[in-house]
Amino acid sequence: MRILAIISVLGTICGIFYCLFSLLCVVLFGPRNREKMDTGFAPPVSILKPLCGMDPHAYASLRSHCTQDYPAFEIIFGVADPNDEILPTVERVMTEFPAVPIKLVRCPQQLGTNLKISNLVQMLPHARHELLLINDSDIEVPDDYLRQVVERLKDRSVGMVTCLYRGIAAGSIGSKLEALGISSDFVPGVLTANRLDGGLRFGLGSTLAFSRTSLDAAGGFSPLADYLADDYQLGYRISKAGLRVELADCVVDHYLPEYSFGEFVQHQLRWARAIRTSRPGGYLGLIFTFAIPWSLLAITLFPSATWVWVLLASALILRYAVMLATAVYIFRDSRPFRYFWLLPFRDIVALAVWILCYAGRQVVWRGKRFVLVNGKLRAV
């Protein structure tokens, strides 16, 4: 019991210091995030959109890529299933924007367990331009998205540009918990890693922009065909090739499904196991970031100690401060405030997911079960 008491107090203190540091990282990044640079650097871009199934807000998300304030770009959609339910939406977008060069590529081959990478390998030969941009199918972008992303590639030492995203919650409890985690945990965590490592060493699926030269330096798409965290791996390999990974100065929207609570936990577990296999040391260190759960445990062990209640109050205030700063400085969006009261519960679930992550290697992705072996997917 004594050891548990010491651990709970140390965990709370470590969590409070982590909150302070991540809050600083968010605030320092915020002003840069408001800049709107445009130096006239706007080479043509090939946007690659691998698709699989119908995502929430699909039409608006795909359409937003066609309304870019950018001189020259093309869009390449890729699907593996000839009867994919997303196809009518793609055809609607193609009909609505006849002036935008859009191709629909059928990808009949399965070149690995990661179907997204399998599609990309088959889509790449259809891309005409030196600069490539990939983002997930459920991402909606602002009209100046390409300008803001490509601007960072002007520096030849930058091999990849990636992008933060805000989670747009649906009405379900699971969806709200997911959005809350993005604003209070994921984005601050990315900015903290960026600060501690002196730059990013990974990419985010919301945006992966790079040149063919950088892609070749990373070994191309094919070596990623079995990896779950393909976005992480591509950014990591570009970084290992001696090129920098930069964050763009814009934020995109990620529309979340109507997750049930069970689906939310399942998604978080997949995410956690992907991080654990990609950054095992960093994932282990997350145990020191759970300020609220540790402080609640300390309260149960020292209910009459005033200083423990001070620790709990500090943990709550700082966790909410991180969420507030992310919403104001990064997202410029008040929606996370609508379900702010869920934050302590979300943090308790996050600790449970952290523990469960070590209890197995199975993940569920797009309705299919896989086993993770050294970061690679193996069909069950």
Backbone torsion region of residue 65, taken as left when φ is above 0, otherwise alpha when ψ lies between -120 and 50, otherwise beta: alpha
- CB hemisphere CA count around 108 (13 angstroms): 0
Give me the domain span that covers residue 8.
Answer: 2-30+278-379
Q: What is the CATH number of the domain that holds 182?
A: 3.90.550.10
Mean pLDDT on 367-377 = 86
pTM listed for this prediction: 0.92
Answer yes or no: is pLDDT of 33 > 60: no
Q: Which of 272, 292, 315 finishes a domain?
A: 272
Q: Which of 51, 109, 128 is nearest to 225 (CA)?
A: 109
206 and 306 in a single domain? The answer is no
Secondary structure, 3-state, the chain: CHHHHHHHHHHHHHHHHHHHHHHHHHHHHHHHHCCCCCCCCCCCEEEEEEECCCCCCHHHHHHHCCCCCCCCEEEEEEECCCCCCCHHHHHHHHHHCCCCCEEEEECCCCCCCCHHHHHHHHHHHHCCCCEEEECCCCEECCCCHHHHHHHHHHCCCEEEEEEEEEEECCCCHHHHHHHHHHHHHHHHHHHHHHHHCCCECCCECCEEEEEHHHHHHCCCCHHHCCECCHHHHHHHHHHHCCCEEEEEEEEEEEECCCCCHHHHHHHHHHHHHHHHHHCHHHHHHHHHHCHHHHHHHHHHHCCCCHHHHHHHHHHHHHHHHHHHHHHHHHHCCCHHHHHHHHHHHHHHHHHHHHHHHCCCCEEEECCEEEEEECCEEEEC
Query: Which residues touch 220 (CB under 8 Å, ≥6 apart)?
Result: none
Both structure tokens of 190: 């990315």
Tell me if 221 is assigned to some domain: yes
151 and 193 in a single domain? The answer is yes
Tell me if 68 is assigned to some domain: yes
136 and 259 in a single domain? The answer is yes
Tell me if 148 is assigned to some domain: yes
Mean pLDDT on 82-98 = 95
- Per-residue confidence (pLDDT) for residue 289, from 0 to 100: 94
132 and 207 in a single domain? The answer is yes
105 and 244 in a single domain? The answer is yes
Whether residue 161 contacts residue 133, with contact meaning beta carbons closer than 8 Å, is answered with no
23 and 74 in a single domain? The answer is no
Tell me if 35 is assigned to some domain: no
Answer yes or no: is pLDDT of 80 > 70: yes
Lowest mean pLDDT among 28-32, 109-113, 158-162: 28-32
Both structure tokens of 173: 């409890």
Query: How many domains does the structure of the chain reveal?
Result: 2
Q: Which of 242, 272, 302 finishes a domain?
A: 272
282 and 268 in a single domain? The answer is no
301 and 234 in a single domain? The answer is no
- Per-residue confidence (pLDDT) for residue 89, from 0 to 100: 96
264 and 291 in a single domain? The answer is no
Q: Which of 246, 272, 298 finishes a domain?
A: 272
CA torsion 63-77-81-118 (nearest 10°) is -140
Mean pLDDT on 240-262 = 94
Each residue of 288-320: pLDDT tens digit? 999 999 999 999 998 888 999 999 999 999 999
Both structure tokens of 346: 């979300």
Each residue of 46-73: pLDDT tens digit? 999 999 888 889 999 999 999 999 999 9
Task: Band the pLDDT of 333: cuts 50, 70, 90.
Answer: confident
Each residue of 216-247: pLDDT tens digit? 999 999 999 999 999 999 999 999 999 999 99
284 and 150 in a single domain? The answer is no
284 and 356 in a single domain? The answer is yes
Answer yes or no: is pLDDT of 35 > 70: no
220 and 322 in a single domain? The answer is no
Answer yes or no: is pLDDT of 121 > 60: yes
Task: Band the pLDDT of 24: cuts 50, 70, 90.
Answer: very high
